[in-house]
A and B are shown apart, each in its own frame.
Chain A
């Protein structure tokens, strides 16, 4: 069982280039999340999705777009990369929380450098 898989694992971009990070989960989770991790700042939520075809903004959404065309996939796009977007990006997924708190399961991250 693969869990949450992120591709690519590493990428170097030049300022102004675009790219898409892919997250795939095989646990039939409804909820999916994109975070960025920067030194001393923990994990900050970029965007999230509570079901196929739905997305919402998190704490730091500027400069990113997302799409959830299929339940198992959640894509994070950078239209015009900036050096401030150099970070480690993590995807997570979970069952709906409801009254029973469900934990989030994380992928191993994409390390992105913008030159």
Chain B
């Protein structure tokens, strides 16, 4: 099965700086990679996703890059703001999985200090 590793587990950044979270996956059959943001007391919310036929995707201050050869993908947040403080999860889904199951990383606690 798929295994997803996420680093770092905690990340502290100054407001305005960039934050980068990295994930690696084990199964080369994975083809869909979403990122979720979880605020305190809430459920995970999808913030961006990328498919295996795309190398990079941007949405305003967030971007995701995918390296299929190395089997890793990263989340980049630029010009961080206090409201970016949350737990971020990466996930991967295998092509061979017809039921949409996701394998999640362990999460990264991001703290943006003013």
Chain A interface residues (CB < 8 Å from chain B) = 4, 31, 33, 40-45, 48, 50, 56, 58, 90, 92, 94, 96-97, 101-109
Contact of B41 among A48, A94, A106, A108 (CB under 8 A): A108
Counting chain B residues whose Cβ lies within 8 A of the other chain, the interface size class is 20 to 34
The chain B residues found within 8 Å of chain A, CB to CB, are: 4, 6, 9, 31-32, 34, 36, 41-46, 49, 51, 89, 93, 97-102, 104-107
Would you call B32 and A40 a contact (CB within 8 A)? no
Given contacts A42-B106, A101-B93, A103-B49, contact A90 B43 (CB under 8 A): yes
Q: A97-B99, A101-B49 are in contact. Are A41 and B43 (CB under 8 A)?
A: no
Given A43-B89, A101-B51, A103-B49: A48 in contact with B101 (beta carbons within 8 A): yes
Residues of A within 8 A of B101 (CB): 33, 45, 48, 58
